[in-house]
C-alpha cells in the first residue's frame, strides 16, 4: 500500500507564519478561534486522513468503482468512511453553523482538504463534489433552494456531482450544447 506522508510542522508554519491564520480566525465570523483550537483541528484532521481515509487507497486502486446491475458499487469501506467523515463535520469545516458547518476559516478548510486528498483522492471526490455543488447553491440559489439542499449536502445526507461533458464535446467545455430551460414549475429546469 502506498504511504501517507504529511508534514504537520510544515502545514503549521504555512498557516501560522505565512498565512496569519490566527488573525483570520479571530474575526467575528469565526468566534475568536485561537491557534490552539486550530492546531487541535489539524491534528485530528491528520488522524482522520491517516486512519480513516488513507486505508481506502489500496482498494481504490485495485478494485475501484463498478457498475453492477445499474448501481454504482464503490471499493470496500467507502460507505463507512463517508458516514464517519460527514457525521464528524469534515465536509462542512468552513460552512456556517446555520448550515451545519463548523464555521472555520476557508484557509483552514483548504488545509484539511489537502490532507484528505493526499490520503485518498478518489474518496475525497465524493464529499468534495457534494460540497462544491452545495456551495454553488448557497452562493447563487434562492432562499428556498438553500434551505432545501445545502445542509443535507454538506452533512452527507444528499450527494452532488459535476457533469461537464457531452458525447460530442468530451472535456472541451466550450463545445457543450446542453442548455437548461425553465419549466412552469418553480425552481425546475428541463435539460
pLDDT of residue 11: 95
Cα 47 from Cα 69, distance rounded (Å): 36
- Strand, helix or coil for residue 15: helix
Nearest to 53 by CA among 22, 20, 75, 25: 75
Q: What are phi and psi of 72, to 5 degrees?
A: -80, 125
Which cell is 22 given? 490566527
> Which residues make Cβ contacts (< 8 Å) with residue 142, sequence separation at least 6?
187
Nearest to 160 by CA among 133, 123, 185: 133
Q: What is the pLDDT along the chain (191 residues), one digit of tens a residue?
A: 678 889 999 999 999 999 988 888 776 565 678 899 999 999 999 999 999 999 999 998 899 889 999 998 999 999 999 999 999 999 999 998 889 898 899 999 999 999 999 999 999 999 999 999 999 999 999 999 999 999 999 999 999 877 666 666 566 667 767 788 999 998 889 98
For the chain, list the domains and their CATH numbers.
8-190 (1.10.540.10)
Nearest to 128 by CA among 84, 160, 165: 160
Distances (CA, A) of 131 to 35, 39, 116, 157: 26, 23, 14, 12
Which cell is 65 given? 468503482
- Strand, helix or coil for residue 142: coil
pLDDT of residue 1: 64
Amino acid at each position: 500500500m502506498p504511504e501517507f506522508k504529511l508534514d504537520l510542522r510544515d502545514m503549521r508554519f504555512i498557516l501560522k507564519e505565512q498565512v496569519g491564520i490566527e488573525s483570520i480566525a479571530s474575526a467575528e465570523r469565526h468566534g475568536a478561534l485561537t491557534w490552539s483550537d486550530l492546531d487541535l483541528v489539524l491534528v485530528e484532521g491528520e488522524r482522520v486522513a491517516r486512519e480513516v481515509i488513507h486505508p481506502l487507497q489500496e482498494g481504490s486502486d485495485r478494485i475501484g468503482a463498478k457498475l453492477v446491475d445499474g448501481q454504482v458499487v464503490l471499493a470496500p469501506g467507502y460507505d463507512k468512511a463517508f458516514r464517519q467523515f460527514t457525521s464528524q463535520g469534515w465536509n462542512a469545516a468552513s460552512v456556517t453553523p446555520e448550515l451545519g458547518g463548523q464555521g472555520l476559516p476557508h484557509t483552514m478548510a483548504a488545509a484539511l482538504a489537502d490532507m484528505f486528498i493526499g490520503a485518498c483522492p478518489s474518496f475525497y471526490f465524493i464529499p468534495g463534489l457534494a460540497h462544491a455543488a452545495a456551495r454553488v447553491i448557497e452562493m447563487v440559489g434562492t432562499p428556498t433552494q438553500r434551505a432545501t439542499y445545502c445542509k443535507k449536502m454538506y452533512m452527507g445526507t444528499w450527494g452532488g456531482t459535476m457533469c461537464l461533458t457531452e458525447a460530442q464535446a468530451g472535456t472541451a467545455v466550450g463545445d457543450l450544447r446542453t442548455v437548461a430551460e425553465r419549466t412552469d414549475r418553480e425552481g425546475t429546469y428541463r435539460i
